[in-house]
């Protein structure tokens, strides 16, 4: 079953594809790749359009809707970075300052690197920390503090500012900076600074909160290559800043519109200046040998498609996959969430490519998918 619906809000530029084209493409991609459930949202031409197909779980099947909650993985980093920028705007954090200004307890295997590492290095993945470095420190409010205390042994991949390397640990350090500066647990601070003001009612960290909503579970391939439910839904709490938020495509499209807009919330309140949002999309470091990005900004990955700048972040975790892409100069956004590996990434990227070409006429030869 595929459901498609839309809502009009304001005016924009671009021509929509034929009625039902996105929904048809989503259904075909899911069927071809064996994806149990997919949810897609598109903001184009002043309209929100949604196409949802399939079920939340092969064992307990409920229809996927625009409000179904998916685990976001690394897309969470856009929320962490935005909360950090809120503190920057409030004068509580300086991007160029050493991380130790806020976390004097930070100790790394390379003492010189620990002293030199800046907040900006964490934001644009140039801190030199390993990509997959995640430490399970329990589910208490001290989880991030305990992770910082246990970062003493792993070697760095490079000196700070030397090269880009996508890092969970870097964003978990940012989460601890947010805690130290705000005096609140990371999850509470992000809710107060970002989620609540923007109006994201289906964006949640705690599994107990997710259980009260319709949510997707991840799937992995069984011995016959068929989708089987992943028995783990989410990672450790210490990884919340780098990958622990769950949200719906409806909320994510609202999030995209906030970043495309002037920094005001749905209620018209000023959360961040437009200049701060634009600063997050400005290149800070070049990425070597990547088909997904030319440069990195403040969290966002940046790449030109047909000479038009796109702004992107993807995420994955335990058989769930999300792609979020913005095209600021066209006031356009697309988000795709799917719930099965190994082909969930391919399905999402194929859907993103389809939306770019059929809404904006941009042909993305570099973003590979099915």
How long, in residues, is the chain?
Answer: 370
CA distances from 195 to 35, 76, 252, 261, 344 (A): 29, 12, 11, 16, 26
Do 79-188 and 2-74+198-271+306-360 fall under one CATH topology?
yes
Query: What percent of the chain has pLDDT above 70?
Result: 92
Paired tokens of 10:
């304001």
Residue 134: predicted pLDDT: 75
Give the CATH number of domain 79-188: 3.40.710.10
Residue 334: predicted pLDDT: 98
Query: Which residue in 152, 119, 164 sits closest to 288, CA to CA?
Result: 164
The pTM is what? 0.93
CB atoms near residue 245 (< 10 Å): 28
Q: Could you report the average pLDDT of every consecutive run of 10 residues in the chain (370 residues)?
A: 54 50 93 96 95 97 98 98 97 97 94 94 92 81 94 84 89 97 98 96 96 96 92 94 97 97 84 94 86 89 95 96 97 97 93 95 74
Query: Which residue in 289, 298, 348 sits closest to 170, CA to CA?
Result: 298
Give the CATH number of domain 2-74+198-271+306-360: 3.40.710.10
Residue 93: predicted pLDDT: 98
Query: Which residue in 335, 359, 329 sits closest to 349, CA to CA?
Result: 335
Residue 82: predicted pLDDT: 97
For the chain, domain boundaries: 2-74+198-271+306-360, 79-188
pLDDT tens column, 60-77: 999 999 999 999 999 999
């Amino acid at each position: 079953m595929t459901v498609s619906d839309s809502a009009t809000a304001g005016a924009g530029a671009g021509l929509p594809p034929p009625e039902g084209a996105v929904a048809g493409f989503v259904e075909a991609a899911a069927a071809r790749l064996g994806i149990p459930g997919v949810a897609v949202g598109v903001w184009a031409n002043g309209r929100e359009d949604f196409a949802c197909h399939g079920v939340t779980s092969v064992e307990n099947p409920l229809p996927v809707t625009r409000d179904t909650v998916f685990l976001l993985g690394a897309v969470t980093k856009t929320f962490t970075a935005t909360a950090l920028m809120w503190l920057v705007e409030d004068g509580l954090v300086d991007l160029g300052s050493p991380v130790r200004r806020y976390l004097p307890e930070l100790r790394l295997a390379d003492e010189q690197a620990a002293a030199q590492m800046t907040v900006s290095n964490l934001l644009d993945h140039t801190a030199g920390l390993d990509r997959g470095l995640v430490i399970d420190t329990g589910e208490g409010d001290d989880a991030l503090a305990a992770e910082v205390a246990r970062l003493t042994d792993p070697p760095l991949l490079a000196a700070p500012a030397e090269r880009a390397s996508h890092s969970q640990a870097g964003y978990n350090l940012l989460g601890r900076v947010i805690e130290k500066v705000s005096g609140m647990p990371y999850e509470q601070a992000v809710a107060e600074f970002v989620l609540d003001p923007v109006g994201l009612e289906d964006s949640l960290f705690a599994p107990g909160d997710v259980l009260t909503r319709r949510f997707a579970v991840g799937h992995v391939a069984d011995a016959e290559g068929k989708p089987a439910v992943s028995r783990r839904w989410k990672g450790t709490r210490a990884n919340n800043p780098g990958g622990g938020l769950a949200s719906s495509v409806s909320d994510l499209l609202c999030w995209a519109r906030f970043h495309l807009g002037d920094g005001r919330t749905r209620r018209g309140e000023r959360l961040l200046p437009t200049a701060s949002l634009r600063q997050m999309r400005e290149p800070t470091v070049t990425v070597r040998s990547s088909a997904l990005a030319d440069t990195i900004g403040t969290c966002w990955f940046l790449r030109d498609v047909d000479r038009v700048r796109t702004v992107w972040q993807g995420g994955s975790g335990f058989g769930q996959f999300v792609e979020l892409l913005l095209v600021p100069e066209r006031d356009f956004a697309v988000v795709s969430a799917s719930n099965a590996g190994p082909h969930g990434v391919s399905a999402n990227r194929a859907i993103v490519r389809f939306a770019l070409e059929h809404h904006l006429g941009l042909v993305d030869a570099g973003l590979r998918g099915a």
